[in-house]
């Protein structure tokens, strides 16, 4: 009897392994596909949204823009065409949350450095201070990869309207006047159709982990 079991032990183990694989594949096939929401202004805290958009329930996308990056190049929505990207708002002289946000964005940059589908975009909220030269200095200090990450400056009113009306990211409703100041810790995940797919606290490591997980889900949705 022992000889019989010994003889067929290998086949039994193989059969057990195949059974486990089949069960796993069936389990995965039965699980619902993970999808990210498409954020509309009506889904976001009204304090973060321009009053003209409070009741917008569909078709919200990031507006066209034209700004200047750390290399003096004009950056528009065309540079992000058919790309997933992560956007934020910062300023180079910020002593509080910006250094943490930049550090975490560098972490994101490291994780996507070989991914041609994903880019980063950081908007200066003090463009009168953050000249091209200042942005370049900051980029070099922080380890910004020019191929993946644009730090942009430009017309203050345009940047503030983008923050408030496109990215739905800030509570201050200033229109970009000389004394207006916006400050937000939000990282915003934008898909290839220029739609918002997620908001994350750029100062928290756990939110960066969530961002990376959501980025993977979003990328998978384009390969289905």
How far is Cα 172 from Cα 23, in angstroms, rounded to an integer?
Answer: 53
The total of other beta-carbon atoms located within 10 Å of residue 195's CB is: 17
How far is Cα 174 from Cα 126, in angstroms, rounded to an integer?
Answer: 13
- Contact indicator for 113, 208 with CB cutoff of 8 Å: no
First to last CA, the chain: 52
How far is Cα 122 from Cα 116, in angstroms, rounded to an integer?
Answer: 18
Tell whether 60 is in a known binding site.
no
Tell whether 54 is in a known binding site.
no
Q: What does each C-alpha distance from 147 to 109, 121, 169 come to in angstroms? A: 10, 11, 25
Residues annotated within the binding site for Cu cation are 94, 98, 183
Residues annotated within the binding site are 94, 98, 183
């Amino acid at each position: 009897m022992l000889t019989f079991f010994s003889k067929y032990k290998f086949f039994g183990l193989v059969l057990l392994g195949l059974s486990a694989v089949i069960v796993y594949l069936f389990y995965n096939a039965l699980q619902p596909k993970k999808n990210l929401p498409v954020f509309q202004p009506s889904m976001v805290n009204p304090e973060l949204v321009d009053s003209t958009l409070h009741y917008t329930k569909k078709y919200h996308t990031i507006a066209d823009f034209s700004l200047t990056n750390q290399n003096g190049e004009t950056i528009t929505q065309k540079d992000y065409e058919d790309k997933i990207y992560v956007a934020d708002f910062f300023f180079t002289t910020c002593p509080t949350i910006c250094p943490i946000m930049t550090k975490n964005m560098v972490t994101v940059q490291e994780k996507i450095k070989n991914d041609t589908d994903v880019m980063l975009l950081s908007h200066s909220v003090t463009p009168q201070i953050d000249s091209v030269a200042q942005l370049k200095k900051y980029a070099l200090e922080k380890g910004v990869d020019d191929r993946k990450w644009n730090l942009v400056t430009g017309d203050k009113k345009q940047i503030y309207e983008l923050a408030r009306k496109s990215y739905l990211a800030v509570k201050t409703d200033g229109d970009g006047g000389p004394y207006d100041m916006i400050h937000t810790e939000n990282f915003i995940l934008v898909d290839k159709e220029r739609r918002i797919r997620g908001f994350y606290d750029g100062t928290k490591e756990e939110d960066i982990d969530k961002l990376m997980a959501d980025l993977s889900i979003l990328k998978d949705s384009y390969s289905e």
